[in-house]
């Protein structure tokens, strides 16, 4: 059975406006059940590009690619795949066992956490912080994550690069176990030390030179009825994955007390405002809206941008985790943060500013402020995929004055300026909030809701496009 199939695949990159470079030239390549293929090549020869195309992280300029019989960008193709990538930063605030639990939850046929940790000899380290492991231990953890889904195919990109002598020997012991389980392997390596083991295990050597593949058969593999891969279910329990992803994100949030303290201190600033009784409610709503917008864009934008730059999101993209599940988990956590912030603002505001409203009125204002900020949270998500962390900081800085200018405050009586402001999502959010507080608004409630929904759908489209675009992972 062909697990990887490339037909006439070429890849060209633009180096300038008038200059292009062809990295891969009409590549024809297959990986069949039982193979152990070693991919070699000089730096810059296109090995990483080839692997990215196979994994669906990049699209070929020409040609066709199949991964486990599917489009390599589909989630079904990833349910029987395990990958070790280069340059992946382990998430902070998660322990080894928690990280393995998270990754295995993505797969319909995953191994048990205990079996995974025992296989890579990390059982004694399961309570350690994943980000605090030594270089060799971290590489073993990445291999553990690759084994989490009980894969049929393993793709390993320089898996031995950080291993000490003990870790190196353990890794090859694990590879031998994988081969005994009939796992097919495609391994990228230029490490000469690997060949003391590859000489007995590898079935084919493939080398990239000048954009073309040179193949050398080392041994033949007979696939009998006994060692053919079993047909496995690829049905993912999306609700279970969403729950696990959200609970893990929440756990990371709880373990950042300084961030939560910052929310508490910022929200408490409302207690120091000096306002008249007539303007107390409008000031409360204004401060609440601006605070939620900042938190929504900052939390999602900055966090996603950081995880993307560090390579963690690249690893998630080669798992069966759908982007929609990832997006929802992030937005749920942002809404939890927004709820905490809003509760504090309302509490301090009611006590300090003397605002007296019924419980029903408080709940209506709370709900409209919270629901109305969702499009801005999705906007932050999209910005995190499009820009680096520093650029996201700049976007947040620009969002505040833009919100102040376009939220509906009477800054100008010039008609064309007023008309232009009505295209701003901040304006429609502001009108929704005014309605919730029984304050004067422009009486087009349905239109404001439609506009906010439209902005949310548009930003969601941008986020999904940005998630999939190949330029992110070049």
pLDDT in tens, 272-316: 887 777 788 888 998 999 889 888 888 888 888 888 888 888 888
Same domain, 193 and 249: no
Residue 473 pLDDT grade (very low, low, confident, very high; cuts 50, 70, 90): very low
CATH of the domain at 119: 3.40.50.300
Same domain, 177 and 43: yes
What is the tens place of the pLDDT at every residue in 233-271?
667 788 999 999 999 999 999 999 998 898 889 888 888
Domain presence at residue 375: yes
CA separation for the pair 384, 296 (Å, rounded): 12
Residue 102 pLDDT grade (very low, low, confident, very high; cuts 50, 70, 90): very high
The encoded tokens of residue 259 equal 């961030």
Pairing between strand 36-41 and 20-32?
Answer: unpaired
Quote the pLDDT of residue 354. Answer: 82
Among 217, 247, 268, the domain-final residue is 217
CA separation for the pair 407, 376 (Å, rounded): 13
Same domain, 165 and 132: yes
Same domain, 163 and 35: yes
Residue 450 pLDDT grade (very low, low, confident, very high; cuts 50, 70, 90): very high
Domain presence at residue 370: yes
CB-CB contact of 284 with 359 (8 Å)? no
Domain presence at residue 226: no
Phi-psi domain of 408 (left: phi exceeds 0; alpha: psi -120 through 50; beta: other)? left
Same domain, 185 and 60: yes
Instruction: Find which of 144-153, 399-408, 415-424 is predicted with most confidence, using mean pLDDT.
Output: 144-153
Domain presence at residue 86: yes
Same domain, 178 and 145: yes
Q: What are the backbone dihedrals phi and psi of residue 27, each rounded to the nearest 5 degrees, phi first?
A: -80, 125
CB-CB contact of 331 with 381 (8 Å)? yes
Domain presence at residue 222: no
Q: What is the DSSP letter of 16?
A: S
The encoded tokens of residue 44 equal 């810059």
What is the tens place of the pLDDT at every residue in 57-94?
888 999 999 999 899 988 888 999 999 988 788 888 99
Same domain, 136 and 249: no
Residue with tokens 């062809």: 22
Domain presence at residue 230: no
Quote the pLDDT of residue 274. Answer: 79
Residue 97 makes CB contacts below 8 A (sequence gap 6+) with 113, 117, 126, 127
| Per-chain mean pLDDT for the chain | 87
Residue with tokens 């279970």: 240
- With a pLDDT cut of 70, the percent of the chain lying above it is 93
Same domain, 185 and 270: no
Q: What angle do CA 55, 58, 60 make, to 5 degrees?
A: 105
Range of the domain at 180: 2-217
Domain presence at residue 223: no
Same domain, 320 and 359: yes
The encoded tokens of residue 286 equal 């204004």
Quote the pLDDT of residue 153. Answer: 95
Same domain, 169 and 98: yes
CA separation for the pair 202, 214 (Å, rounded): 15
CA separation for the pair 294, 396 (Å, rounded): 7
The encoded tokens of residue 455 equal 């902005």
Quote the pLDDT of residue 206. Answer: 92
The encoded tokens of residue 39 equal 């991919």
Same domain, 325 and 413: yes
Quote the pLDDT of residue 225. Answer: 46
Quote the pLDDT of residue 217. Answer: 84
Domain presence at residue 149: yes
What is the tens place of the pLDDT at every residue in 104-142?
999 998 999 999 998 888 999 999 999 898 888 888 899
- pLDDT tops 60 at residue 227: no
Instruction: Please report how the helices 257-267 and 280-310 are oriented relative to each other, as an axis angle in degrees rounded to 10.
Output: 160
Same domain, 397 and 451: yes
Domain count, the chain: 2
């Amino acid at each position: 059975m062909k697990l990887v199939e490339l037909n006439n695949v070429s890849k060209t990159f633009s180096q300038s406006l008038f200059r292009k470079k062809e990295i891969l030239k009409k590549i024809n390549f297959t990986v069949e059940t039982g193979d152990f293929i070693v991919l070699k090549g000089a730096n810059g020869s296109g090995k990483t590009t080839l692997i990215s195309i196979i994994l669906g992280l990049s699209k070929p300029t020409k040609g066709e690619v199949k991964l486990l019989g599917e489009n390599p960008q589909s989630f079904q193709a990833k349910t029987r795949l395990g990958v070790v990538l280069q340059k992946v930063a382990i998430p902070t605030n998660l322990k080894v066992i928690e990280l393995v639990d998270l990754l295995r939850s993505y797969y319909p046929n995953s191994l048990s956490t205990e079996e995974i940790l025992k296989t890579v000899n990390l059982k004694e380290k399961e309570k350690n912080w994943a980000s605090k492991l030594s270089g060799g231990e971290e590489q073993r953890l990445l291999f553990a994550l690759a084994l989490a889904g009980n894969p049929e195919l393993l793709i390993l990109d320089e898996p031995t690069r950080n291993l000490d002598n003990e870790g190196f020997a353990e890794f090859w012991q694990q590879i031998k176990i994988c081969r005994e389980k009939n796992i097919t392997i495609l391994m990228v390596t230029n490490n000469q030390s690997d060949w003391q083991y590859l000489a007995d295990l590898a079935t084919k050597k493939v080398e990239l030179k000048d954009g073309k593949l040179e193949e050398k058969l080392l041994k033949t593999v007979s696939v009998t009825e006994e060692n053919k891969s079993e047909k496995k279910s690829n049905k993912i329990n999306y609700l279970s994955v969403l729950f696990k992803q959200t609970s893990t994100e929440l756990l990371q949030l709880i373990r950042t007390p300084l961030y939560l303290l910052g929310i508490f201190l910022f929200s408490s600033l409302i207690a120091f405002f000096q306002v008249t009784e007539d303007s107390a409610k409008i000031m409360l709503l204004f401060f609440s809206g601006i605070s939620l917008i900042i938190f929504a864009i900052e939390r999602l934008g900055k966090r996603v941008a950081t995880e993307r730059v560090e390579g963690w999101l690249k690893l998630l993209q080669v798992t069966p985790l759908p982007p929609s599940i990832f997006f929802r988990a992030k937005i749920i956590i942002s809404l939890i943060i927004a709820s905490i912030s809003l509760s504090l603002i309302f509490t301090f505001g009611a006590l300090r500013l003397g605002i007296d409203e019924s419980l029903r009125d408080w709940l209506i204002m709370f709900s409209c402020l919270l629901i109305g900020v969702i499009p801005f949270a999705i906007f932050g998500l999209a910005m995190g995929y499009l820009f680096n962390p520093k650029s996201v900081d700049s976007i947040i800085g620009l969002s505040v004055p833009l919100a102040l200018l376009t939220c509906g405050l009477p800054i100008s009586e010039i008609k064309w300026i007023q008309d232009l402001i009505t295209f701003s999502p901040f304006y429609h959010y502001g009108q929704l909030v005014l309605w919730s507080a029984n304050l004067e608004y422009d009486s087009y409630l349905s239109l404001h809701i439609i506009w906010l929904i439209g902005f949310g759908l548009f930003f969601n489209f941008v986020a999904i496009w940005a998630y999939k675009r190949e330029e992110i992972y070049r």
